[in-house]
Structure 1
Amino acid sequence: MVKTLSGSLWRGEKKLKFFFLCFVLFYWAGVTTEAFAKKQGPQPDVKVGERLFYGLIPTGEGSNSCVSCHAMYPADSMNWNPSAIEMAKVAAEMDLATFKEHLLTPTGAMREKVHVKYQLDDEQLFHLQGYLAELSDTGVKEQPISINKLLIFLLLGGLMTLALVDIFFTKKIPYKAVHVLIIIFGISFQLKIVAHEMIDLGRSQDYMPDQPIKFSHKVHAGDNKIDCLYCHSNADEGKSAGLPSAGLCMNCHQVVRNGSNSGQFEIAKVVDAYENNKDIEWVRIHNLPDHVFFSHAQHVNVGKRECQECHGEVENMHILKQENDLSMGWCLDCHKKTNVDFLDNDYYKTFEALHKDLAEGVRDSIQAADIGANDCMKCHH
């Protein structure tokens, strides 16, 4: 009896010590965390900063939300303002005083005009910068996808399955013609989707990616009348048209540092690449399969073709896109209908029989296909 009682007391004492130890540990952890937080200083409320960025909290009478200019996702039309992620990366590297000056007393005509209505106190600026710093670390979430052909394909498959189940098993709908129409329509539409997807493999018509610098062909080739070969000088005598180096861009931008549409931000990227000897990683738009040979020199120099015939009216494009599908059929059709300038081009002197036909009136024109442009080995060799 005494032994049992002493054992119970000993176990009770152990439990008491255990709870006391836990209390001490939790208290120490709380004090340490509080001390660390005080040492670190106040932390920004990222949610408040996000609401400020999206304009859910007023930022000044008549002012626009940040996201209305600094978009999260790419658009089909040129947005001359830096994207949200670009601004986030810049803001994350600033201290609060610099960020305040950058936002409320900006330099540059474009920012002065937009930012003049912003009225934010230091606390709001602190939260806003905190949100931008987090956005810089996490990046932008993937844009939600909309209903596409795959979902329609699967929906039709589901409807046809239900129709077949009702025909053979449930037999709820007495009119079999309804099931037959659903199955015929579903199979026809699915075959059409599959055929078009197979045809479009490797094609990127209307491809219009975001570029590391907002470069406008309309401003350069259209408004300022810069010749295509000034920037793409290799097109006249090379396989590829080539891309201009930052040094070539600086021929103009050594002086022009403030764009009429984009302000200073985009041109500053060119200057930075030039001064720090960095490559500008442009995203390729027009890209033929590896098994296809294409020479710009053959078309631009020999064939005297204009850039717009393949690339569209680039002088009217702010954002460059792939105008044509660049399929084999598109190339062959062009070769069949394009007249070759035989008389004023020394390249074609060797085609004596065709020159004779022109002189005798047997032919009134020569197409590219007539001189072997559509031979398989011209492009696939």
Structure 2
Amino acid sequence: MVPKSSQIISFLKTKPWRLFRSWEYWLSRLYQTAGTFCLLPIYWERSTNTVQYEKRWLKIVTWAVLTLYLTLDSTYQFYVMCTAPYKAMSIFDILKILLHGSRRIGASALIIGFSSNMKNTVKLLNQTIDIHHKLKRNYYGDENALIDDGLLYVNFGTIVLHFQPLGPTLQHLQERGSFRYWGARYLPPSFYNSAFGIAIFGTMELILCYVSIFGTGYAATQVIVYAQTTRHWLNILEKDSQKPLAKAWLTLKNLKLYRTLAVLNCIHNEACSPVLWPMSQHVLCSVHVICNVLLIKCFRLLPLLIGATLFFATVTITLFEKNCLKAAADVYEISKRFRDRMRRDDSKRNRIVGRSLRGLRIKVQDAYYFKISTFITFMQSVVENTINVMLTFF
């Protein structure tokens, strides 16, 4: 009889389990889907295992048309949010308008933001994943090593992205007469409520949901993959720098790792700090606030399935903030501790090298960079905005 522990270890070494644990594999599936259905102007190159910018003009034009339609729909949602008769509406209807509108507007803003710098973000993602693979080979001897690099939940997020648009589409079919949908307000009922109208607008709503959620997913993976992988290797670096044995060669190894991360940090700031990071914070804050208000005011009124979904979405947003914004703050804090330790080292050479090192900073435009105080301020703004929305509308 083979011991159960040995069977478990053997199973963990099998290819299917490694693929399930590999966030890179699931990320590639996300980009394959996006490229196949023109949800993003990218595709997954199987021969090199990299993301590539789309070269076929038909797919680029198709994506541009879908993005334009999403932008026009987002403009209409903004108009609805500004002109809705809130005093005559129920709490549930108000929050549905705010959640639907902010979600659609936020996705549109993120897509427009990264599309202006799409080629650079594609290169950045490839460089981040490539460096992560090389470092895993150097430190663990296997680029597919089952290490806890903080990105396992990307697997589940990728799976959810493929099915999430079905929920809003079903809601559209149930409430298609609401003025949240422009067809109900501007088109003749004889056409809008016909079988053809139901089919065409239901299909367009499904497409819009997929374009918006995959665009949001692309923006999210850009920031969270970099922040998490950089924090992971900085943690490794910090632990190694505290080891007393083999200090000379270990210090040289740590310096090479730090300089590699510093170069990647410069590339990341150039690609993501002007638009992607500030937009991501605003969208996260807005959606988190509305989810909080929905939970506080309407949780008892919601059906069990919808209430559970809302609770799961709120928890997911909170975890994303912790694992993305907190990781971005930790990048600065850990790099600062490493530099300070080098500057206090017994070796004069190490002290000189420590003074020459620059801290790793994830910048938000040229205004500020992430620190622990930045993360705390962000969470405080979520709480304050939740209170303000409740006082304003309720």
Fold shared, TM-score > 0.5 on shorter chain: no
TM-score by length of 2: 0.24
Of structures 1 and 2, the one with the larger relative CO (CA 8 A, separation 6+) is 2
Taking structure 1 as the reference length, the TM-score comes to 0.24
Which structure shows the bigger proportion of residues in helix conformation? 2
